[in-house]
Amino acid sequence: MVPESCPVPTLPGVVGERMQQIVVNGIVAAAVYVVAGFGFGLIYRTATFFHIAQAAIIAVGAYGTYWLCVGIGFPLPVAVLLSVVFSAIVGACADQAIFRPLRRRGASPLVLLLASLGLYVVLTNLLSMAFGDSIKTIAWGRVEEGWRVFGARITTVQAMTIAIIALLAVLSAIAFRSTKIGITLRAVADDPELAGISGIEVDRVVLVASAVGSGLSGLAGILLALDLGMTPMMGLNVLLMGVVAFIIGGGLKDMTGLVAGGLFLGLSQHLAGWLIGPQWQYAMAFVVLIVLLLLRPKGMWLSQSHGSLA
C-alpha cells in the first residue's frame, strides 16, 4: 500500500493521521503478541522446550469462541471465558498425556519439540475438518466506525484488547511476586532440579504453567479473531510473533520487557506494512526473529540474571 496509489486521502494532515492509525494498529497487534509471548514463555521457562503446539491452541481458543457464540448463541463474554478455560484444559491434557510421560523418560528438548510439532498438526487438522479452511468471523453488535482517539480510529474490540493486556500485566506482576504458585513457578523456571530437591512438585508446577500458558494462548487467538477473523492456520504466525517479542523483551520479568518487545515488533511491522506493503509484514518479522537468534544464539532469555522469571 504505497501512499501515492491510495485514491482517497489528499487532504492536508492526512499523512499525520495515517501515522497515528499505524501507531494504534501497531499497539493492538503488540497486545496480542504480548499475550501469546507470555503464554509461550511461561511454558518455555518451566517445561524447557519449544511448545509449537501452542500455535494450534491459539486457534482452538478462537474457534471455541466462534462455536459457542455463533453456533450455540452464548453471549460473547461467556463464550470468551469458556474458550479460555477450554484452551487451558486442552493444554493441561496434552501435558498429562504426552509431555509428562516424555519428561518421566528424560526426553531431550528436541524430542519434546517434535512431539509438540505432531500435536500441532493433529489439532490444526481437527479444526480444519470441523470448521473448514475459509476465514470465519464473529460478528457481534453492529458494525461501528470506532472511536476517534488523537485522530486515529479504534474499535471497541481493540480498546478491550489493550485493557485486557494492562490488567494481565498487573495481575501477573502481583502473582509472580506474592503468591505461592507464582514463587514456585519462578523457582522451577530458575532451576528445575534444585526446585525438585527443595520439595517442589515440578510436574505439578509444569502442569499449572501449561494450563495457564495455554489459556493465554487461547486468549491471544480470541482477541485476534474478534479483530481480524480466524483460520485453522492462524496460530503459527501469532505464536512466532509472540516468541520474537519474548526474545526482544528478554523474558517475563515483570512484563515490561515483553511489552516493550511486543510494541517494537507491532509498530515496526505496521510501519513496514505501510512502507513496503502489508503482505510483507510477517516475512519482515521472521527476518527479525532470524537476526535476533543470530545475535543471541542461545536466546536472550537464557543469558538473563537468575532469580526471576526472566
Partner 1 sequence: MEYALHILMMVCIYVALGASLNLVAGYAGSPSLAHAAFYGLGAYVAGLMSLRLGSPFMLNLLCAVGFSAVLGAIVRALTMRIRGDHFIVVTLAFQVVVFSILYNWVSFTGGPMGLSAIPEPTVFGWLVSSHADFLLLGLVYCVLTLWVCRRIANSPFGRVLKAIREDEVLASAAGKDVAMHHVLIFMISAGIAAGAGVLFAHYMCFVDATSFTEMESIFIISIVIIGGGGSSWGPVVGALVLVGLPELFRFLGMPTSVAANVRQMLYGGLLIVFMLWRPQGLLGEYAFGGTRDSR
Rounded Cα gap, residues 125 and 56, in angstroms? 9
Does 126 interact with partner 1 (rule: CB under 8 A)?
Answer: yes
Per the structure block, which three cell numbers stand in for 164? 485486557
E strands along the chain, which residues?
147-149, 152-154
Contact 218, 230 (CB under 8 A): no
Residue in 33, 40, 50, 131 binding partner 1, rule: CB under 8 A: 50
Contact 84, 219 (CB under 8 A): yes
Which residue, 107 or 169, is less far from partner 1 as judged by CB? 107
Cell 505461592 belongs to residue: 180
Does 196 interact with partner 1 (rule: CB under 8 A)?
Answer: no
Which residue, 71 or 118, is less far from partner 1 as judged by CB? 118
3-state secondary structure 186-215: HHHHHCHHHHHHCCCCHHHHHHHHHHHHHH
Stretch that binds partner 1, among 13-21, 94-102, 189-197, 264-272 (CB under 8 A): 94-102
Size of the site for partner 1 (CB under 8 A): 46
Contact 252, 240 (CB under 8 A): no
Does 276 interact with partner 1 (rule: CB under 8 A)?
Answer: no
Stretch that binds partner 1, among 62-70, 118-126, 204-212, 213-221 (CB under 8 A): 118-126
Does 121 interact with partner 1 (rule: CB under 8 A)?
Answer: yes
Residue in 28, 59, 115, 309 binding partner 1, rule: CB under 8 A: 115
Does 122 interact with partner 1 (rule: CB under 8 A)?
Answer: yes
Span between the terminal Cα atoms of the chain, in Å: 38
Per the structure block, which three cell numbers stand in for 210? 501449561
Residue in 82, 89, 113, 267 binding partner 1, rule: CB under 8 A: 113
Does 275 interact with partner 1 (rule: CB under 8 A)?
Answer: no
Rounded Cα gap, residues 154 and 159, in angstroms? 7
Does 98 interact with partner 1 (rule: CB under 8 A)?
Answer: yes
Contacting residues toward partner 1, per CB under 8 A? 49-50, 52, 98, 101-102, 105-115, 117-122, 124-126, 128-129, 236-237, 240, 243, 277, 279-280, 282-283, 286-287, 289-290, 293-294, 297-299
